[in-house]
Structure 1
């Protein structure tokens, strides 16, 4: 049996974040050592509480979690309340957290976990703005360099943006943080809208998911159905953040290219450009979407 992959999850849940988290907790292929919240889709109080609620839904009071950045490194943050609802979960009912977040905050929690693990052993799965990672790199640089790899959902290369015409929400929420992470010492794999918009679920897919009968499958089906609210005319909805978990487990489903990327922090915040002096980033540009959806459903249906 393949050993479970030890991971940290940094997230701003968020409907599609929640599905990725449920997959990570349910599939049996990850050892989730800690989770940290960042403001993004919704404010930090709600994203932190949503981590606790998702852990409670899966009976996982063993996973520590903590609140992180309340906003970007500079400027004002964005939000996606219109998509995710005031509670970030589209009104889907979740239990109250079983435990309180670590009062020391995200940087202290991440630094402690990284110090206790062998250098390079932990993969960091980033589902939101990258602000927490920059705070960790600044405040605990010896811990930060112990991360083996960062896999982040964010950006767009050729696709139109979802935070203006050129930028994707996570990168646009804190473009300076994104540039600093790309420039930093930890290898980074980016999964942009070019890929995530290809992994889609239809109402029939959700019926099949719910019929698997596990808590994670039923709850994920409810969360994705909430994603259709206000978009009832759409035949399918994209599953952005679960692509991060799928990349970690099934990299063969993705086609990856190395690119030198610069992040616009001024005129078009979050816009990515390929430039000779850019940071070297591995960028997923293709996905076997049918196989990826099957892998996602299979993990959520694991008993």
Structure 2
């Protein structure tokens, strides 16, 4: 099959022109430490309208994933209140995202395990038992779940409380994705997929016609030319649900509803470990802020930092510049979804130039490939695209989740 991968020298392209209308985004996520940092990136961008967070198993279980979203937004509300008191005329950086009048963000619960099989894998070994360095077990619960305001007797005491701007959807994650795509013009919603792509595969299987209305799918997943991070050959997201990856990357190609798409395939841009692993930030720079948000970030990075430091080369002096690095896997996928050229708005010209280039260089041997294998193209905002052909191994015990590259 054919898929394209993307890379960038700068997550915030210097030549980027925001679209005339807000960029509408769905984040499909398994939060997860780097997922939370990806949320913060999306919420900080004034041109991005985060429509929904659709949750899946992955870094942790679905219940913890839900709670991690709630804890993150509760922290942001406290940070907003602090910055309103101390920020002077500038006010709060987060008021637009979480303050009164902020746009509603729907939260949906999705896949609890992979499309097939009974074995569910999580990344608790790296992210902690709850996905956020086990902060839910810290003494005194310093980063608590939101609670209903006094007098809110109507809220069931045994149910999590979703304060505005969050709203718990009555739909499952795949259903909410399809509902939002159906209610917006084709090509105007993007999806940043940060975990196993089970929800996306289920949405496609339920209604390919509606799912094909998506404008762009930026997927953090897979490993093409680099070792894996869960097995020697597989990245975690494809390892956790290789069957879902096969549905999106392989089985969807050539479907009749994609006849208007280049190569008759979904608009997937893959950001594998080969790319995301090179985008690093020193933990010390991420963990030096104060206030509710700074303390929260420091807390959730504790376990990943210990794990990362343990991978330092044996026999060499520890080097913070080499060994104390956070790999920004999920933030990079959100950056791509938020800044890559678009079919709509001011980014449209670059998008169409890119796809005209692909059609002009179409391989004579494979009409679905768009460009020849390995050929690169840089767009006007600095993202570099390479067309790659690979399949996902789903059945092998030793090779589960491996991207088999031609």
Normalising by structure 1, we get a TM-score of: 0.82
Question: Given the superposition, is the C-alpha separation of residues 203 and 72 from structure 1 closer, same or farther in structure 2, using an over 3 Å criterion?
Answer: closer
Q: Show CA shifts across 1:124-179 (max 9, x none).
A: 10000011011111223332111111100001111111121100000111111111
* Distance in 2 of aligned mates of 1:103 and 1:49: 17
Residue 115 of structure 1, CA deviation = 1.2
Alignment RMSD (CA, Å): 2.3
Equivalent position of 2:273 in the other structure: 193
Question: Given the superposition, is the C-alpha separation of residues 162 and 120 from structure 1 closer, same or farther in structure 2, using an over 3 Å criterion?
Answer: same
Residue 106 of structure 1, CA deviation = 1.2
Farther-moved stretch of structure 1 (89-98 vs 140-149): 89-98
Q: Show CA shifts across 1:84-138 (max 9, x none).
A: 1122111342543425622331122222211111011101100000110111112
Find the partner of 1:223 among 297, 300, 315.
300
Q: Show CA shifts across 1:171-212 (max 9, x none).
A: 11111111111132421011111111111121342256x27x
- Report if the CA contact (8 A) 2:276-2:329 is conserved: yes
Question: Given the superposition, is the C-alpha separation of residues 94 and 181 from structure 1 closer, same or farther in structure 2, using an over 3 Å criterion?
Answer: farther
Question: Given the superposition, is the C-alpha separation of residues 243 and 141 from structure 1 closer, same or farther in structure 2, using an over 3 Å criterion?
Answer: same
Query: Is residue 132 from structure 1 mapped to residue 199 from structure 2 by the alignment?
Result: yes
Query: Is residue 241 from structure 1 mapped to residue 370 from structure 2 by the alignment?
Result: no
Aligned residues: 272
Alignment of 1:1-303 (within 5 A): 2-3=18-19, 4-59=22-77, 60=98, 62-75=104-117, 76-92=119-135, 93-96=143-146, 97-98=162-163, 101-183=168-250, 184=252, 185-206=265-286, 210=289, 219-233=296-310, 234-251=323-340, 252-267=381-396, 268-275=399-406
Residue 219 of structure 1, CA deviation = 4.0
Partner of 1:82, secondary structure, is helix
* Distance in 2 of aligned mates of 1:219 and 1:120: 36
Residue 51 of structure 1, CA deviation = 2.3
- Report if the CA contact (8 A) 1:151-1:188 is conserved: yes
Q: Show CA shifts across 1:226-284 (max 9, x none).
A: 42134445321212111101222344454220112211112211111223xxxxxxxxx
* Distance in 2 of aligned mates of 1:220 and 1:120: 34
* Distance in 1 of aligned mates of 2:274 and 2:192: 19
- Could you say which structure has the larger radius of gyration? 2
Structure 2 stretches lacking a partner, 5+ long: 1-16, 78-97, 136-142, 147-161, 253-264, 311-322, 341-380
- Report if the CA contact (8 A) 1:90-1:226 is conserved: yes
Question: Given the superposition, is the C-alpha separation of residues 171 and 230 from structure 1 closer, same or farther in structure 2, using an over 3 Å criterion?
Answer: closer
* Distance in 2 of aligned mates of 1:20 and 1:94: 20
Farther-moved stretch of structure 1 (253-262 vs 35-44): 253-262
Normalising by structure 2, we get a TM-score of: 0.62
Structure 1 stretches lacking a partner, 5+ long: 276-303
* Distance in 1 of aligned mates of 2:229 and 2:219: 16
* Distance in 2 of aligned mates of 1:191 and 1:228: 23
Question: Given the superposition, is the C-alpha separation of residues 149 and 216 from structure 1 closer, same or farther in structure 2, using an over 3 Å criterion?
Answer: farther
Equivalent position of 1:299 in the other structure: none
- Report if the CA contact (8 A) 1:155-1:167 is conserved: yes
